[in-house]
Amino acid sequence: MISFRDSEIEAKAEQRADERCSASLVVRRDLERYYTLLASAESELDFSLSELQCIYDICNGTMFEPALVDPLVSANVEDAFCHADYDKKWKVDKQALITKLKALTPLQSWALVTKIERFWAK
């Protein structure tokens, strides 16, 4: 059983609830949709292993703000390249990687953030 308290999410779920679907079922349904969308977006990501390792390294310890539409992974990576030679360390083309990151949709960016978080949770 999963339980949490967030008055903002609770209010949104209550607004979507009706006599056929309780707020609890709304949250479950919406999470199922979200996970389905994330899985689809993750399958669209096209990064080499070296590029992913570079992104993981740069984003180690990064806290992504959930309220943002776009988590700005590209800005984080671009800024990191200005301060360290991650491109040399991971043997990646930094301009090509930044271009790929900037081309991501917000959903694809969140799918990438999920990969980053799962990587560092291991």
pLDDT digits (tens), the chain, 122 positions: 677 788 888 888 889 999 899 988 999 999 999 999 999 999 999 999 999 999 999 999 999 988 787 888 999 999 999 999 999 999 999 999 999 999 999 999 999 999 999 999 98
Q: Is residue 97 included in any domain, yes or no?
A: yes
Same domain, yes or no: 36 and 77: no
Domain containing residue 26: 7-44
Same domain, yes or no: 53 and 40: no
The residues, any chain, with a CB within 8 Å of residue 29's CB and separated by 6 or more, are 21
Q: Is residue 2 included in any domain, yes or no?
A: no
Q: Is residue 1 included in any domain, yes or no?
A: no
Other C-beta atoms within 10 Å of 62: how many? 15
Same domain, yes or no: 55 and 26: no
Same domain, yes or no: 55 and 34: no
Same domain, yes or no: 72 and 96: yes
